[in-house]
Amino acid sequence: MAALLIEGSNGPWEIVIGLEVHAQVISRAKLFSGAATAFGADPNTQVSFVDAAMPGMLPVINRICVEQAVKTGVALDARINLTSVFDRKNYFYPDLPAGYQISQYQQPIVGRGTVTIDLKDGSSRTIGITRLHLEQDAGKSLHDIAPHASHVDLNRAGVALMEIVSEPDLRSPEEAGAYLKKVRSILRYIGTCDGNMEEGSLRCDANVSVRRPGDPLGTRCEIKNVNSIRFVQKAIEYEANRQVDILEGGGAIAQETRLFDSAKGETRTMRSKEEAHDYRYFPDPDLLPLVLDPAWVDQVRGSLPELPDPKKARFIADYGLSPYDAGVLVAEQASADYFEAVAKGRDAKAASNWITVELFGALNRLGLDIDRSPVSAAALGGLLDLMTDGTISGRLAKDVFAAMVESGKDAMTVVEEKGLRQVTDASAIETAVETIMAAEAAKVAEYRSGKDKLFGYFVGQVMRAMGGKANPQALNELLKRKLAG
Amino acid sequence: MFLDKTTVAKIARLARVRIPEADRDRIAGELSNILAFVEQLKEVDTKGVAPMTSVVAVSLKQRDDTVTVIGDRDGILANAPQMEHGFFVVPKVIE
Q: Over the stretch A329-339, which tens digit does the pLDDT of each residue have?
A: 999 999 999 99
Residues A151 and A227 in one domain: yes
Cβ neighbours of B54 in A, within 8 Å: 288-289
Q: Which pLDDT band holds residue B50 (cuts at 50, 70, 90)?
A: confident
CB contact under 8 A, B85 and A48: no
Residues A17 and A129 in one domain: yes
Q: Which amino acid is at A27?
A: S
Cβ neighbours of B53 in A, within 8 Å: 85, 283, 288-289
Tell me how close the Cα of B74 comes to any Cα of chain A, in angstroms. Answer: 9
Residues A200 and A264 in one domain: yes
Cα A259 to Cα A250: distance, rounded to the nearest angstrom: 24
CB contact under 8 A, A28 and B73: no
Cα A302 to Cα A287: distance, rounded to the nearest angstrom: 29
Q: Who among A35, A85, A280 is closest to B69 (CB)?
A: A35
Residue A441 CA: distances (Å) to CA of A345, A438, A446, A447: 47, 5, 9, 10
Cα A428 to Cα A116: distance, rounded to the nearest angstrom: 57
Residues A268 and A141 in one domain: yes
Cα A376 to Cα B32: distance, rounded to the nearest angstrom: 73
CB contact under 8 A, A36 and B71: yes
Q: What is the pLDDT of residue A258?
A: 92
Cβ neighbours of B73 in A, within 8 Å: 42-45, 47
For residue A238, give every residue at least 6 positions away whose Cβ sits within 8 Å of its Cβ, in sequence order, or none.
A260, A265, A266, A267
Last residue of one domain, picked from the residues A378, A398, A418: A418
Tell me how close the Cα of B79 comes to any Cα of chain A, in angstroms. Answer: 10
Residues A122 and A267 in one domain: yes
A60 φ/ψ angles, rounded to the nearest 5 degrees: -130, 125
For residue B38, give every residue at least 6 positions away whose Cβ sits within 8 Å of its Cβ, in sequence order, or none.
none
Residues A227 and A98 in one domain: yes
Percent of chain A with pLDDT over 90: 68
Q: Which amino acid is at B38?
A: V
Q: How many helices (H) and strands (E) does chain A have?
A: 16, 17
Residues A395 and A479 in one domain: no
Select from A25, A48, A102 the residue whose CB has the most chain B CBs within 10 Å, as the one to mutate to test that interface: A48
Q: Who among A42, A152, A291 is closest to B88 (CB)?
A: A152
Determine the residue of chain B that is closest to A290 in CA distance.
B60
Instruction: Check pLDDT > 60 for residue A169.
Output: yes
> Of A197, A198, A221, whose CA–CA distance to A208 is shortest?
A221
How do residues A3-15 score in pLDDT, each as one tens digit?
A: 678 888 878 999 9
The domain locations on chain B are 5-41
CB contact under 8 A, A143 and B93: yes
| Mean pLDDT of the A263-288 span | 81
Residues A308 and A390 in one domain: yes
Cβ neighbours of A45 in B, within 8 Å: 71, 73, 86
How do residues A13-35 score in pLDDT, each as one tens digit?
A: 999 999 999 999 999 999 999 99
8 Å CB contact between A120 and A233: no
Range of the domain at A292: 5-300
Q: What is the pLDDT of residue A120?
A: 85
> Pseudo-torsion of CA B35, B38, B40, B42, nearest 10°?
-100
Residue A56 CA: distances (Å) to CA of A32, A49, A50, A60, A98: 14, 9, 9, 13, 12
8 Å CB contact between A320 and A351: no
Decide: helix, strand or coil at residue B66.
coil
Q: Which amino acid is at A35?
A: A
Residues A90 and A169 in one domain: yes
Last residue of one domain, picked from the residues A275, A300, A325: A300
8 Å CB contact between A25 and A204: no
The vertex-A107 CA angle with A106 and A108, nearest 5°, equals 110
Q: Who among B53, B82, B85 is closest to A283 (CB)?
A: B53
Cα A155 to Cα A136: distance, rounded to the nearest angstrom: 12
- Considering chain A, what is the average pLDDT of its residues? 92
Residues A36 and A74 in one domain: yes
How do residues A341-400 score in pLDDT, each as one tens digit?
A: 999 999 999 999 999 999 999 999 999 999 999 999 999 999 999 988 878 877 788 989
Residues A100 and A167 in one domain: yes
What CATH number does the domain containing A440 carry?
Answer: 1.10.10.410
| Mean pLDDT of the A223-246 span | 93
Cα A172 to Cα A13: distance, rounded to the nearest angstrom: 11
Report CA torsion sign: A194, A198, A201, A206.
positive
Cα A15 to Cα A117: distance, rounded to the nearest angstrom: 17
Query: How many domains are there within chain A?
Result: 3
Q: Which pLDDT band holds residue A435 (cuts at 50, 70, 90)?
A: confident
Last residue of one domain, picked from the residues A399, A418, A437: A418
Q: Who among A63, A65, A288 is closest to B54 (CB)?
A: A288
A to B CB pairs, distance under 8 Å: 139
Residues A310 and A443 in one domain: no
Helix axes A441-448, A472-484, angle to 10 degrees: 80
Q: What is the pLDDT of residue A300?
A: 97
* pTM of the complete model: 0.86
Instruction: Check pLDDT > 90 for residue A452.
Output: no
